[in-house]
Amino acid sequence: MAYLFYLPSLLCGLAIGIEDVRRRHVPAPWVLVGSLAQLISNIIAAAVGNTFFTVLQSMLFALLSLGVMALLALARSSGLGANEIKAMAPAGLAVGMCGLPAVIIWWLCILLFGTMLTVYWRRTNLRCNAPGSARPPYVPAIVVAAVLAVAITTI
């Protein structure tokens, strides 16, 4: 039943992933609400298990992941953008709750899914009318990788 504690991040991730695919925009209020709900869920999970260090751990891993993604976005201007940076907050809070192995698996899955998505996007030459549609929407790859990392480490 511990998997229910990750539900806020999953629901927020699904919503912002769909929004990124449809409109190429991730609304900041959605990310804020999703992150706050996941943080509250983390506090409840820590209170149930009497492991309050995991709340601090999840916040630090989320901030670290957000910072790394921001540095990657700064390194190449045509690659990642603000949508991907915003998507790291709720997903990072959920994955960070599972510890360092989950964060490593998450980043490896982001690399794998992001590469697969880029190859697929360029091969099919899939374009839509949304602004910035020349590059693929990476938020769904981030969310799917987070779900997979949490599932692998909690099972």
* Percent of the chain predicted with pLDDT > 70: 91
Nearest to 136 by CA among 58, 80, 72: 80
Q: How many domains does the chain fold into?
A: 1
Rounded to a whole number of angstroms, the distance between the first and last alpha carbons of the chain is: 11
- CA 55 to each of CA 10, 29, 33, 43, 72: distance values in angstroms, whole numbers, following the listed order: 18, 22, 17, 6, 26
What residues contact residue 134 under an 8 Å CB cut-off, 6+ apart? Answer: 127
- 13 contacts 87 by C-beta, under 8 angstroms: yes
Inform me whether the pLDDT recorded for 128 exceeds 60: no
pLDDT at 82: 87
Amino acid at 21: V
Phi-psi region of 127 (alpha: psi -120 to 50; beta: other; left: phi over 0): beta
**Res. 120 pLDDT band, cuts 50 70 90:** confident
pLDDT of 126 strictly over 60? no
Write out the two tokens for 19. 């929004």
Apex CA 114: angle with CA 129 and CA 25, to 5°?
A: 40
Q: How far apart are alpha carbons 124 and 109 in whole angstroms?
A: 22
Let me know: does 22 contact 128? Beta carbons within 8 Å. Answer: no
pTM: 0.89
pLDDT for residue 130 is more than 60: no
Domain that residue 132 falls in: 2-154
- Band the pLDDT of 4: cuts 50, 70, 90: confident
**pLDDT tens, position by position, 51-87:** 999 999 999 999 999 999 999 888 876 678 888 999 9
Q: pLDDT for 69-79, tens place per residue?
A: 999 888 876 67
Radius of gyration of the chain (CA): 15
pLDDT bucket at 141, cuts 50 / 70 / 90: very high
Q: Are 84 and 138 in contact (CB under 8 A)?
A: yes
